[in-house]
Structure 1
Amino acid sequence: MEIRAATVLPARREPIELHTADGLTLVGELAQPLDRPPVATLVTLHPLPTHGGFMDSHVYKKAANRLPALADLAVLRFNTRGTSSERGTSEGAFDGGEGERYDVAAALEYAEFHDLPRVWVVGWSFGTELTLKWAHDPLVEGAILLSPPLHRATDDDLDAWARFGRPLVALVPEFDDYLRPEEARARFARVPQAEVIGVEGAKHLWVGEPYVRIVLDEIVRRVNPAAWPLPTEVA
């Protein structure tokens, strides 16, 4: 069977709640391999909620639908404060990336408390800003950025990640609306351990199955290289 945009592979999927230090409850989902423990964990941070971003943004939904089965990964998705999806609405209100520091911390605390292994943070657009600003946690093994705008995240945040020392991979669309590969390489040059990958033909929202496959393949190549490259068909 060819893996298509709507393919949902077997996994253990459970609704979860995250509790922030400033007293909010956030809604989410944890997807894990069906009959074995995960080898690593993706904590995902979604695009800008004021422009339609949420835990079900399509790349993350497809990651949860496929990667537990194909790559033995746990995928943790959640709505940041004030954000809604089919799962429900997280308490609080959008705070432009500042109060969301508590949301990031709550997701990492959940992963630690539930003994989820080898945590990588995956941020997309606004989620990359949250990653660079607030994911400097000893639990985090590295981060993967999808379409980083480097708007709210400043050079000071990049310098902080450089000092943090963990791997940083940025997937930058050739036709991104905010930051394109050449400029991204110049901006990320201040992070010695950063790798910038320009993706030919891609746009900010990674629309189209070929681009989703590129993103998921690059994630797996870093987080569980034993499962790379991902298959395009399953029995």
Structure 2
Amino acid sequence: MTSPPPGQLETVVTAAEGPVEIGPTTRLPARREDVELHTPDGLRLVGELALPPERDPVATLVTLHPLPTHGGYMDSHVFLKASWRLPALADVAVLRFNLRGVTSPRGTSEGRFDSARGEANDVAAALAYAEDHELPHVAVLGWSFGTDLALMHARAPVVERLVLLSPPLRFSTDDDLAFWAGDGRDVLALVPEHDDYLQPAEARRRFAAVPQAQVVGVDDAKHLWVGEPHVRTVLDRVVAAVVPGAGPLPTSWDGPYERVTTRVRRG
């Protein structure tokens, strides 16, 4: 791999040994592998699967990232930190991938943004991958635009539940909510108090159409879940949903890990 040109961000990975407080730059051990997903309409999507370092996973998160036209991609920070922490702390597998037309350091997925229509094929490809690789107890974890994709397209039998972060209910419709109401699978929505699009009171009103849906308002949080306390709240809630009885997650680690930082390359 060639070095980035001067002025471009580069990632620096440093091996380290605990004990350490888990923070934004802490990447815990996992079996990480680059994956390719193949959509029903013939596109190749790039992603990564992170598995527990020494054991089989007890549950799986298939992540659907925020709106690509507003900077969403597979490395959006909550999903990146989920992949860095949950395999080691909770034995949870995390599948992240770039939706069609989206670029990250992992690469670029083929195709182009299609306003939640063509992305139905991307969701299908990710769920088929999880099923084909016998990943257990699949939950779809959507964030923002990804929550619309989950509500609209994550209906395959392999999916056991939806976990929705900052759902705007922008592309999804009342008909999509009606599907989940009739379907009966668990739906958990984590809604920031100061969300830019849908705040807890309105979210409870909208999701009342889905009797089994649980809407949890998160005090002081915003749509992007910036800040380590909010990331910990999200990951604790996610793990509790997909691994009943688990959590809260440890906040420290005593063992080998990696410190991952970014910097502007000079010279």
TM range (shorter): over 0.9
1:31 matched residue in structure 2 = 50
Q: Secondary structure at the match of 2:147?
A: helix
The 1-side partners of 2:63 and 2:207 are apart by 21
Indicate the residue corresponding to 2:264 in structure 1.
Answer: none
Superposed displacement of residue 4, structure 1: 0.7
1:134 aligned onto 2:153: yes
Residue in 1 aligned with 2:164?
Answer: 145
Secondary structure at the counterpart of residue 152 of structure 2: helix
Aligned to 1:121: 140
Give the RMSD, CA atoms, in angstroms: 0.6
Equivalent residue letter for 2:129: Y
TM-score by length of 1: 0.99
Which residue does 2:7 correspond to in 1? Answer: none
Query: Alignment partner of 1:227: what SS?
Result: coil
In the alignment, the residues of structure 2 paired with residue 149 and residue 218 of structure 1 have an alpha-carbon distance, to the nearest angstrom, of: 19
Structure 2 Cα separation of the partners of residues 108 and 40 of structure 1 = 14
1:93 matches 2:112: yes
2:121 is matched with 102
Aligned to 1:181: 200
Whether contact under 8 Å (1:149, 1:178) holds in the other structure is yes
How far the C-alpha of 1:111 sits from its partner, in A, is: 0.3
- The corresponding residue for 2:224 is 205
Contact kept in structure 2, 1:70 and 1:227, CA below 8 Å = no
Size of the aligned set, in residue pairs, is: 235
Q: Judge conservation of contact 1:27–1:87 (CA < 8 Å) in 2.
A: yes
3-state DSSP of counterpart to 1:112: helix
Residue of structure 1 aligned with 2:74, choices 43, 46, 55: 55
Q: Determine which structure has greater relative contact order: mean sequence separation of CA pairs < 8 Å that are 6+ residues apart, divided by chain length.
A: 2
**Of residues 56, 71, 78 in structure 1, which corresponds to 2:90?**
71
Structure 2: 5+ residue runs without aligned partners? 1-19, 255-267
Output the CA distance in 2 between the equivalents of 1:81 and 1:226: 36
Match of 2:35, as an amino acid? Answer: I
Secondary structure of the corresponding residue to residue 252 of structure 2: coil
Residue aligned with 1:221, SS: helix
In structure 1, how many angstroms separate the alpha carbons of the residues matched to 2:34 and 2:56? 18
Is 1:19–2:19 an aligned residue pair?
A: no
Which structure has the greater CA radius of gyration?
2
Which whole-Å CA distance do the structure 1 matches of 2:39 and 2:64 have between them? Answer: 15
Q: Which has the higher strand share?
A: 2
State the alpha-carbon separation in 1 of the partners of residues 25 and 249 from structure 2: 16
Report the equivalent of 2:8. Answer: none
TM-score by structure 2 length? Answer: 0.87
In structure 1, the gaps of 5 or more residues are none
* Distance in 1 (alpha carbons) for counterparts of 2:214 and 2:226: 23
Maintained 8 Å contact 1:81/1:103: yes
Q: How far, CA to CA, are the matches of 2:107 and 2:121 in structure 1? A: 19
- Indicate the percent of aligned positions where both proteins have the same amino acid: 68
